[in-house]
Structure 1
Amino acid sequence: MPTLTRPDGTQPQDLHLTRRGAVSMFAAGYALAGWSAEARPVTTPTAGLTIEEVLIANGAPRPLPAYVARPATPGRHPAVIVVNEVFGIHAYIKDVCRRLAREGFVAVAPDFFYRSGVDLPSLTDFAQIMPVVQQAGAAQVDDDVRATSAWLKARSFTKPDAIGITGFCWGGAVVWRAAMVDPDIKAGVAWYGRLGGLAARAGELHAPVLGLYGALDQGIPQTDIAAMRAAVAAAGKTAEIVVYPDAPHGFHADYRDSYRAADAADGWGRLLRWLRGHGVA
C-alpha cells in the first residue's frame, strides 16, 4: 500500500494517485468467497468516464484509498459514496461505481478495510474474512465516511451540496449510520444492511434513507425491519423500507447465487429516483 511521506503534510497532488492503465491499489476480479461459477455479472463500459484511484486524508498515518468513477464531461456533478460488502473493493463494487457514473454521478468507493493490509477479495474462508471486517469499528468507519464526503466537497468536479451514499450488506448498515452522523449526506440507499441496534437511533436521522431488503434474508429478521419502520415513524423522520417477497440477502450482487435480476433492477430504479428526489442531483 503506498504511503505518503511529505514532511509538510498531504498535498492535493498526492490525493490523485493513479488513472486508468496504471498499477491498481485494488484487487482485480470478483470476491472469491461469493463467486458463482454460473454468474454472468454486469460489466459497465468505461467510455465517457474518468476512472481514478485516490488517497483521501483521514487523519490516519496512511490515508484512505478509494476507487472513483465519474463522468468525463466538465462541470460539477452530484456524488455518491459507495460502501462495499464484507469483501472489500472488488470488481462488483467498482462496476457499481461505473453504473452510477454513467447516470451522471461522481461515485467513490473507499476501502474501509485497508488498515488490515489483507486482500479480502482473494480469500475464500469467512473465518478469515470476518476478523478483518470486525477490526473496522463503527466510529472508525463513520470517520472515514466523513473524510470521504469532505474530500468530495473539495473537488472541482463535485456539487458540494449534493452528496449521497449507498451500500450493500455490511455497507447497508453504514448507510443508515451516515444518515445520522454525517451532515454532508443528503440521502442514503441501504441494500440489506443489518438493523440491529439502529432503530433506537432513528431520531438521529437527518437525511432520508431508502432501505431495500429481501423477505427471504436469513440474517435480517423481519422483526428488525418492522422495528425500524415504527421507530422512524415515531421520530417523524423520512425513510422508506421496501421488502422484496422472493429475494434473499445479496439480491443485487450479480456475481453470486443470491442475485435476483428483476428485484435488483427495481431497486436500482428506486435508488436513482430516491437520490435525485432528495437533493443528490
Structure 2
Amino acid sequence: MTSPLDHPARFAQAAGAPALSAIATDVEGLEAGMTTLPGGAPAYFARPENGANFPIILVAQEIFGLHEHIRDVVRRFAKLGFVAIAPDFLIRYGDPQEAPDIEAIRAIVAKVPDAETMAIFDQALAYAATRGGDAKRAAITGFCWGGRIAWLYAAHNPQLLACIPWYGRLDGPHTPAQPRWPIDIAEELKTPTLGLYGGADPSIPAELVETMRARLKTAQAPAEIIVYADAPHAFFADYRDSYRPDAASDAWERALAFLRAKGVG
C-alpha cells in the first residue's frame, strides 16, 4: 500500500527530537502501511496478517500530523487484534511534519473544515471494513487536536460503540470551517465516551472540564471524563518531555477496558 504523500517513519519537526522513552512497535505479524482513501486522503493502516471480522479503531492524529507516534499507536492496536486506521485529514492544507514551529501548524489546522474531516473518517471506516474489519464493532480514539475530532465524530456517527478522546480541546474559536466544539455537542452525544485529560494542562482548564461534565450529566450522555491530577497536556506522548508513564499506562489500560466493555476488542 503506497501513497504519493507518504513520509518516512519519523517524528514531526516542531515536536522536537524524540525522547528516549519513545515506544517503537514493530510490524511482525501485521499488515501495515499507507493507503489512499476514496476521497484522496492518505491514511496509515495496520491489521493482523491473518483472520477477519476484527474490531475497528479509528485513530485521530495529533496536531503534529500523521507522524511516527500516531503510526506506532495504530500498530499497537493492530497487535491487539484491531483493524486500526489513522487518516491524514490535515495534509491537504499543509504538512505539519515539515512545519518549523507550533504556530505554523496552528495556521494549517485552522484551515481544515470539520465537515471534510468527518467525511474522511467516514471513508476510513468504510475502508477498514473492506480490510477485514467489522463495521458493527467500531470505535474512535484521538489525541490532542484529534481528541477534539474524536468527540465531534462520535456525535457525527452515533453508530460507533465507543469514543476515547485524549486531552482534546473542549472549546475554542468558532469559525466557518470549525463551527462547533465538543462543548457544543454534549447534549447530542449518544456514543459511549471516555475522556482522558490532564489536570495540569493549561490549554484545557479545570473549569472547562467541569462545564463539559455538567453538560454531559444534564443531557444524560453516556460519557465520563477522567482527569489525571498532575498530568500535563500530551501525557501519553511517549516521545515528548510531557510523557508521564504512570498516567499514560493507567489511561491506556482504562481505554482498552472501556473498549472491551462496549463490545470493541
Counterpart contact for 2:199–2:230, Cα < 8 Å:
yes
Q: Measured at CA, do residues 129 and 220 of structure 1 come closer, stay the same or move farther in structure 2, by a change above 3 Å? A: same
Task: Please identify runs of 4+ aligned residues in structure 1 that moved more than 3 A.
Answer: 36-39
Aligned equivalent of 2:140, options 156, 162, 165: 165
1:25 matched residue in structure 2: 6
Give the superposition deviation at 1:23: 8.0
Letter in 2 for 1:81: L
Worse overlay, 166-175 or 39-48: 39-48
1:11 matched residue in structure 2: none
State whether structure 2 residue 29 is matched by structure 1 residue 54: no
Map Cα deviations across residues 204-255 of structure 1 (whole Å, 9 max, x no partner).
1121111000010010011111111111111111111110011000000011
Q: Measured at CA, do residues 229 and 245 of structure 1 come closer, stay the same or move farther in structure 2, by a change above 3 Å? A: same
Between the two proteins, the alignment pairs up a number of residues equal to 256
Cα RMSD between the aligned structures?
A: 1.7
State whether structure 2 residue 197 is matched by structure 1 residue 213: yes
| Structure 2 counterpart SS, 1:263 | helix
1:142 matched residue in structure 2: 118
1:4 matched residue in structure 2: none
Aligned equivalent of 1:188, options 163, 167, 171: 163
Q: How far apart are the structure 1 equivalents of 2:20 and 2:81?
A: 27
Counterpart contact for 2:84–2:128, Cα < 8 Å:
no
Counterpart contact for 2:11–2:18, Cα < 8 Å:
no
State whether structure 2 residue 219 is matched by structure 1 residue 242: no
State whether structure 2 residue 79 is matched by structure 1 residue 102: yes
Letter in 2 for 1:171: G
Aligned equivalent of 1:264, options 237, 240, 248: 248
Q: How far apart are the structure 2 equivalents of 1:84 and 1:93?
A: 6
Where structure 1 has 5 or more consecutive residues not aligned to the other structure, the ranges are 1-16
Counterpart contact for 2:83–2:131, Cα < 8 Å:
no
Q: Measured at CA, do residues 24 and 195 of structure 1 come closer, stay the same or move farther in structure 2, by a change above 3 Å? A: closer
Counterpart contact for 1:77–1:158, Cα < 8 Å:
yes
Letter in 2 for 1:26: H
2:177 matched residue in structure 1: none
State whether structure 2 residue 69 is matched by structure 1 residue 92: yes
Letter in 2 for 1:72: E
| Structure 1 counterpart SS, 2:20 | coil
Taking the TM superposition and a 5 Å limit, the aligned residue runs for 1:42-81 are 42-58=23-39, 63-81=40-58
State whether structure 2 residue 208 is matched by structure 1 residue 224: yes
Letter in 2 for 1:270: R
Worse overlay, 35-44 or 216-225: 35-44
Q: Measured at CA, do residues 38 and 255 of structure 1 come closer, stay the same or move farther in structure 2, by a change above 3 Å? A: closer
| Structure 2 counterpart SS, 1:75 | coil
Q: How far apart are the structure 2 equivalents of 1:32 and 1:269?
A: 29
Give the superposition deviation at 1:263: 0.6
TM-score (norm 2): 0.91
State whether structure 2 residue 109 is matched by structure 1 residue 125: no
Map Cα deviations across residues 170-194 of structure 1 (whole Å, 9 max, x no partner).
0001111111011342211000001
Aligned equivalent of 1:114, options 91, 111, 124: 91
Q: Measured at CA, do residues 119 and 198 of structure 1 come closer, stay the same or move farther in structure 2, by a change above 3 Å? A: closer
Q: Measured at CA, do residues 70 and 208 of structure 1 come closer, stay the same or move farther in structure 2, by a change above 3 Å? A: same
Aligned equivalent of 2:128, options 149, 152, 159: 152
Counterpart contact for 1:149–1:184, Cα < 8 Å:
no
TM-score (norm 1): 0.86
Q: Measured at CA, do residues 165 and 38 of structure 1 come closer, stay the same or move farther in structure 2, by a change above 3 Å? A: closer
Give the superposition deviation at 1:39: 3.4
Map Cα deviations across residues 135-159 of structure 1 (whole Å, 9 max, x no partner).
1122221221222222223x15111
